Structure 1
Amino acid sequence: MKRYVFALLGAFSLSACAQNPGASDTAAAATPATPAPAAIEAPAGSPAAEARDAILSINPRVSIESVSDAALPGFQEVVVSGQVLYVSNDGRYVLQGSLFDAREKRDLSQAGLSKLRQRLLSEVPEDQRIIFAPANPKYTVSVFTDVECGYCRRLHEEIAEYNKRGIAIEYLAYPRMGPGSDDFRLMESVWCAADRKKALTDAKAGRRVDSKACENPVAAHYALGQRAGLTGTPMIIAADGTQMPGYMPPDQLLEALQRLDGEAAGGSR
């Protein structure tokens, strides 16, 4: 029975391409990260408290981002390490997976994650991002990127096309090989460069980037990506926290953002 519990909660701290198995644990531990969320406060005996305590009883080391009433009657929605769980109000049962509304044809699990991503990204100052934007952008997306990822490079090769369509790209760092890796150090050098935009473009094109050290946000971005539920790069997130399905060519991304706009307008009427 215990192996099923570990399978459930063992995934809380993992991301599919988050860490190179060869990266040293010492280096990872030495790398500063964003602070873990504060403990969720709830009145003793309340459904939120029961749900929180149920998760912590299985793994006391996980960081719970939020607990709220779920759309599923009798359950709480718990967001943990970028994943959504449903815990019965008495704390006995835990469900893992998407909650799909067949009538509305939408994944209700994504709503809580979108709010979380929106909140986390709002805490990242503009000067910690590398921004490629047109003069008057119609849309702005945040993109967790890596310099070694093929689709990240492809997206960046088309950066001018995204900008022509009125889309601003705001990059955050997510070196997939993990803390202590050459990939991680290269991205730190990019963020420490005098001209970050040129350095990022050079790194993605395989050109040499001078090694530099400074106070930088790469470790914080990496930790943030894990909390936001990152499973692959590039991770494209719309202004409302909606995650796009990986790399999207300029026209497809524009269509997706326009569709989100239309859905938001329809929902407000």
Structure 2
Amino acid sequence: MKRVLFALLGAISLSACAQGPQSGGDVAKAPGAQAASANKAAPIVTGRAPNAAANTPEARAIAAVRSLNPRVEIDKVRAAPIPGFREAIVQGQVVYVSDDGRYLFLPGPQGALYDTTTKTDLSEQSLAAIRKDLIKAIPVSERIVFAPPNPKYTVSIFTDVECGYCRKLHSEIAEYNRQGIAIQYMAFPRMGIGSEDHKKMISVWCAPDRKKALTDAKNDRPVPARDCKNTVSMQYDIGQRAGLTGTPMIIAEDGSTVGGYLPPQRLREALDKLAQGGEAAPAGATDPVAATGG
């Protein structure tokens, strides 16, 4: 799943690591951490945070951020313009934390509402359900499918014939299948409706052998220009409504995103983790869509 929240709070900040332990009240050990003892265990060090009286909304906001990443630096905590929330400046970003410390909201285009108690991205849960319903509108007969005989997993992928990461993924299609993963491609001409990219994808979807045409297009082999009744524009529209910002976009069967391009083994590991009830945090790469494309 694509999460600016994880990038901000889940990854260890370079500045905190570089500074290391500091003296005074700005840095303290995380709850339960002990100083290095006979076993040479290193202390857990937190980044800077403003002083806050115990059992106040400010203190709970700091604790909520610390629960996600104790090493980030919190520059300021104050009353938010939203009733019932505190506003915190964390690593140069604004986040809002509910006064009880349970919910953390990251605003912006890739915003998320996070339950710090259950460690759940509530926004992604809602979006996953919406994506699952949206892609149901694209019949399997309108997708280009590469599948092993008895797949363990099936993923739906919005793809483009021009993007580099889409081509890299497709060059390894046999290995994805060997990993037990069925690939169902959906069209997303990232240069937008009416572009040469769009026309080329229509030619692929109108070809008598779509799988061959798609493979040829992704390898810069000529694909005869064709036009027919097709769903390429409809698929593109659904991709936009699903929140696509780059291709490829890999969607698991539950509607959650599994990142952009991931090597076959890593995609299998991410799907295994999802199947076990975990979250497959995205680490894949994508090519951005054109500004005119959405």
TM-score per shorter chain, which class?
A: 0.5 to 0.7
**Match for residue 136 of structure 1 among 132, 139, 150:** 150
Aligned-partner Cα distance in 1 for 2:271–2:171 = 20
Structure 1: unaligned runs, 5 residues or longer: 1-72, 75-94, 265-269
Aligned to 2:190: 176
The within-5 A match list for 1:164-243 is 164-243=178-257
String of CA shifts for 1:29-57, please: whole Å, max 9, x gaps: xxxxxxxxxxxxxxxxxxxxxxxxxxxxx
Aligned to 2:8: none
The within-5 A match list for 1:76-91 is none
Aligned to 1:244: 258
- 1:159 matched to 2:188? The reply is no
Aligned-partner Cα distance in 2 for 1:107–1:232 = 21
Q: Which amino acid aligns with 1:202?
A: D
Aligned to 1:112: 126
Structure 2: unaligned runs, 5 residues or longer: 1-82, 85-106, 279-294
The within-5 A match list for 1:52-71 is none
1:112 aligned counterpart, secondary structure: helix
Aligned to 2:73: none
Aligned-partner Cα distance in 1 for 2:131–2:153 = 17
Q: Which amino acid aligns with 1:189?
A: S
Q: Which amino acid aligns with 1:196?
A: R
Aligned-partner Cα distance in 2 for 1:261–1:244 = 12
Aligned to 1:15: none
- State the shift of 1:108 in Å: 1.1
Q: Which amino acid aligns with 2:171?
A: E
- State the shift of 1:106 in Å: 2.4
1:188 aligned counterpart, secondary structure: helix
Aligned-partner Cα distance in 2 for 1:253–1:238 = 10
Aligned to 2:54: none
TM-score scaled to structure 1, two decimals? 0.62
Q: Which amino acid aligns with 1:143?
A: I
String of CA shifts for 1:143-176, please: whole Å, max 9, x gaps: 0000000000000000000000110000000001
2:277 aligned counterpart, secondary structure: helix
Instruction: Give the length in aligned residue pairs.
Output: 174
1:193 aligned counterpart, secondary structure: coil
Aligned to 1:121: 135
- State the shift of 1:124 in Å: 1.3
Q: Which amino acid aligns with 1:208?
A: P
1:124 aligned counterpart, secondary structure: coil
- State the shift of 1:229 in Å: 0.4
Aligned-partner Cα distance in 2 for 1:122–1:137 = 19
Aligned-partner Cα distance in 2 for 1:121–1:175 = 16
Aligned-partner Cα distance in 1 for 2:116–2:154 = 31
String of CA shifts for 1:58-97, please: whole Å, max 9, x gaps: xxxxxxxxxxxxxxx99xxxxxxxxxxxxxxxxxxxx652
String of CA shifts for 1:86-125, please: whole Å, max 9, x gaps: xxxxxxxxx6521111122221100010000100111211
1:263 aligned counterpart, secondary structure: coil
2:253 aligned counterpart, secondary structure: coil
Aligned-partner Cα distance in 2 for 1:195–1:238 = 26
**Greater RCO (Cα-Cα under 8 Å, separation 6 or more):** 1
Aligned-partner Cα distance in 1 for 2:219–2:163 = 11
2:112 aligned counterpart, secondary structure: coil
Aligned-partner Cα distance in 1 for 2:140–2:221 = 26
Aligned-partner Cα distance in 2 for 1:209–1:234 = 21
Moved more, 226-235 or 121-130: 121-130
Q: If you compute each CA radius of gyration, which structure gives the higher value, 1 or 2?
A: 2
Q: Which amino acid aligns with 1:169?
A: I
1:115 aligned counterpart, secondary structure: helix
| Structure with a larger share of its residues in helix | 1
TM-score scaled to structure 2, two decimals? 0.57
